[in-house]
Amino acid sequence: MMSQSLSLTNLFSFLSDVPRIAVLVLALDIVVLGTCLDFATGYQGTVVVSYLLPVLLVTWGAGRAWGSLFALSVSLVATILNVGA
Protein backbone atom coordinates (compact mmCIF):
# COMPACT_ATOMS: atom_id res chain seq x y z
CA MET A 1 0.00 0.00 0.00
CA MET A 2 1.21 3.46 -0.85
CA SER A 3 2.20 5.74 2.01
CA GLN A 4 -0.05 8.69 2.72
CA SER A 5 2.69 11.24 1.93
CA LEU A 6 2.96 9.97 -1.66
CA SER A 7 -0.70 10.05 -2.62
CA LEU A 8 -1.88 12.18 -5.52
CA THR A 9 -4.59 13.74 -3.39
CA ASN A 10 -1.99 15.13 -1.00
CA LEU A 11 0.08 16.46 -3.89
CA PHE A 12 -2.88 18.32 -5.39
CA SER A 13 -3.91 19.58 -1.97
CA PHE A 14 -0.37 20.88 -1.44
CA LEU A 15 -0.38 22.62 -4.83
CA SER A 16 -3.66 24.33 -3.97
CA ASP A 17 -2.07 25.83 -0.85
CA VAL A 18 1.17 27.03 -2.47
CA PRO A 19 1.21 30.67 -3.63
CA ARG A 20 0.72 31.11 -7.38
CA ILE A 21 4.09 32.81 -7.88
CA ALA A 22 5.91 29.90 -6.24
CA VAL A 23 4.20 27.44 -8.59
CA LEU A 24 5.14 29.56 -11.61
CA VAL A 25 8.78 29.88 -10.51
CA LEU A 26 9.07 26.14 -9.82
CA ALA A 27 7.55 25.30 -13.20
CA LEU A 28 9.82 27.76 -14.97
CA ASP A 29 12.85 26.20 -13.27
CA ILE A 30 11.79 22.75 -14.45
CA VAL A 31 11.33 24.06 -18.02
CA VAL A 32 14.78 25.70 -18.02
CA LEU A 33 16.39 22.49 -16.79
CA GLY A 34 14.44 20.45 -19.34
CA THR A 35 15.36 22.85 -22.13
CA CYS A 36 19.04 22.48 -21.26
CA LEU A 37 18.69 18.69 -21.30
CA ASP A 38 16.76 18.83 -24.56
CA PHE A 39 19.41 21.05 -26.13
CA ALA A 40 22.16 18.70 -24.94
CA THR A 41 20.45 15.63 -26.43
CA GLY A 42 19.90 17.32 -29.80
CA TYR A 43 17.24 16.26 -32.24
CA GLN A 44 17.83 12.54 -31.58
CA GLY A 45 16.15 12.64 -28.19
CA THR A 46 13.61 14.68 -26.33
CA VAL A 47 12.71 15.21 -22.72
CA VAL A 48 8.92 15.43 -22.97
CA VAL A 49 8.27 15.03 -19.24
CA SER A 50 10.24 18.20 -18.54
CA TYR A 51 7.68 20.10 -20.61
CA LEU A 52 4.51 18.30 -19.54
CA LEU A 53 5.11 18.30 -15.78
CA PRO A 54 5.45 22.10 -15.47
CA VAL A 55 2.28 22.64 -17.53
CA LEU A 56 0.43 20.28 -15.19
CA LEU A 57 1.81 22.08 -12.14
CA VAL A 58 0.89 25.54 -13.43
CA THR A 59 -2.58 24.48 -14.55
CA TRP A 60 -3.37 22.87 -11.22
CA GLY A 61 -1.68 25.45 -8.99
CA ALA A 62 -2.43 28.71 -10.83
CA GLY A 63 -5.52 27.99 -12.90
CA ARG A 64 -6.59 27.17 -16.43
CA ALA A 65 -5.69 30.54 -17.95
CA TRP A 66 -2.14 30.47 -16.58
CA GLY A 67 -1.81 26.83 -17.59
CA SER A 68 -2.89 27.60 -21.15
CA LEU A 69 -0.48 30.53 -21.41
CA PHE A 70 2.32 28.43 -19.96
CA ALA A 71 1.56 25.53 -22.34
CA LEU A 72 1.71 27.92 -25.32
CA SER A 73 5.00 29.38 -24.10
CA VAL A 74 6.56 25.96 -23.50
CA SER A 75 5.47 24.68 -26.90
CA LEU A 76 7.00 27.74 -28.59
CA VAL A 77 10.28 27.20 -26.73
CA ALA A 78 10.33 23.51 -27.66
CA THR A 79 9.57 24.28 -31.31
CA ILE A 80 12.25 26.97 -31.55
CA LEU A 81 14.74 24.66 -29.88
CA ASN A 82 13.98 21.78 -32.25
CA VAL A 83 14.05 23.96 -35.37
CA GLY A 84 17.37 25.44 -34.34
CA ALA A 85 18.95 22.04 -33.68
Instruction: Look at the alpha carbons of 48, 62, 20, 18 in this order and tell me if their dihedral is positive or negative.
Output: negative
pLDDT given at position 1: 46
- Is the overall model pTM greater than 0.75, yes or no? no
- Tens place of pLDDT for every residue, the chain, 85 residues? 445 556 767 777 777 778 889 888 989 998 888 888 877 877 676 677 788 888 988 988 888 999 999 999 988 887 887 776 5
Task: Choose among 81, 5, 67, 70: nearest CA to 36.
Answer: 81
pLDDT given at position 80: 81
Going from N- to C-terminal start, the domains of the chain cover 9-84
